[in-house]
Amino acid sequence: MGSTTLVFGASGQLGQCLQHVAKERHLSSLVFLPEDQANILNVAALQAVFAQYQPGYVINCAAYTAVDKAEDEVEIARKVNRDGAENLARLCSEYGATFIHISTDFVFAGTGNTPLLETDEAAPISVYGLTKLEGEQVIPAHTSQYFILRTSWLYSEYAGNFVKTMLRFGREREELKVIWDQAGTPTYAIDLAGCILTIIESQSQQYGIYHYSNEGLTSWYDFAVAIFELSNTPVRTLPIRTAEYPTKATRPAYSVMDKTKAKTQLGVAIPHWRDSLKVCLSRLEA
């Protein structure tokens, strides 16, 4: 097994966070592939990349994540989220590389009210969730050396995300309406990147599916209130129901994930969402 780690989807939010954390940890073995080399649907290009780098690890941050658009673009969402994952899993098997794949809380229906375990039934209620689940399901058919990390409500200093959108709206508007009847846990993508790199550094062989978000739970409304409070943004925030803000895709009403398995088997310490939000906001301010 080689010592190089290939990162697909390097220009996205999580890819940029991995670059940040790898630099902090002085890890030089990660190769952040440019988009023209990293199209996970181009099998010939992928084969060339694997042959060139002989990777020990492969991180897949590439995904079709436009949740509402996916309802109309089923085939392209499926190609990226299922076929792309399958292409990488097949090559990981061929080259003896460990596959680290990022999935989502959207694989769940979100109809319960207790934190979700990795073993709980996946029953997606959107095309995005369905295609991400299909991606999870094709991986074990090709390799047993995989980590699937399901995450939720990802944000950071990089790319577009809820925190940056709220800060922008907070500057532009006097009043905002935010959904209060969807519960979940924000995840600081820098923390998730740290978890991924810990798996690699520890050379863990505790393969399987894991849940990783920050600790605690909140609603989108309470998350927004915390963003404004901690950033001293004076904006009036009003709670609304999901029904008052219809979207093309249905979102899980409750997608809080249980992280016990990640903490015990991967040995990662997970910060509370509010503590991580403070870190992110101070970095954005700087």
Domain ranges of the chain: 5-160+188-214+256-270
Q: What is the mean pLDDT of the chain?
A: 97
Model confidence pLDDT, tens digit, residues 54-80 = 999 999 999 999 999 999 999 999 999
Local confidence band at 116 (pLDDT 50, 70, 90 cut-offs): very high
- Rounded CA separation 153/217 (Å): 11
**Start-to-end CA span in the chain (Å):** 40
- Rounded CA separation 280/200 (Å): 24
Residue pair 147/207 in contact by the 8 Å Cβ criterion: yes
Model confidence pLDDT, tens digit, residues 234-262 = 999 999 999 999 999 999 999 999 999 99
Q: In the block, which residue shows the tokens 């969730």?
A: 129
Considering the entire predicted model, what is its pTM?
Answer: 0.97
- Mapped onto helix, strand or coil, the DSSP state of residue 267 is coil
Local confidence band at 1 (pLDDT 50, 70, 90 cut-offs): low
Minimal CA–CA distance to 16: which of 164, 143, 129, 127?
164
Q: So what's the pLDDT on residue 37?
A: 83
Would you tell me how many other CB atoms lie within 10 Å of the CB of residue 144? 12
CB-based contacts of 113: which residues, under 8 Å, 6+ apart?
A: 254
Minimal CA–CA distance to 185: which of 227, 214, 157, 212?
214
Model confidence pLDDT, tens digit, residues 28-38 = 999 999 888 89
Tell me, yes or no, if 128 is annotated catalytic: yes
Q: What is the CATH number of domain 5-160+188-214+256-270?
A: 3.40.50.720
Which ranges constitute the DSSP H helices of the chain?
Answer: 13-24, 43-53, 74-78, 84-95, 127-138, 162-172, 189-202, 220-230, 260-265, 273-285
Out of 53, 128, 158, 221, which one is annotated catalytic? Answer: 128
**Half-sphere exposure of residue 178: CA atoms within 13 angstroms, side-chain side:** 23
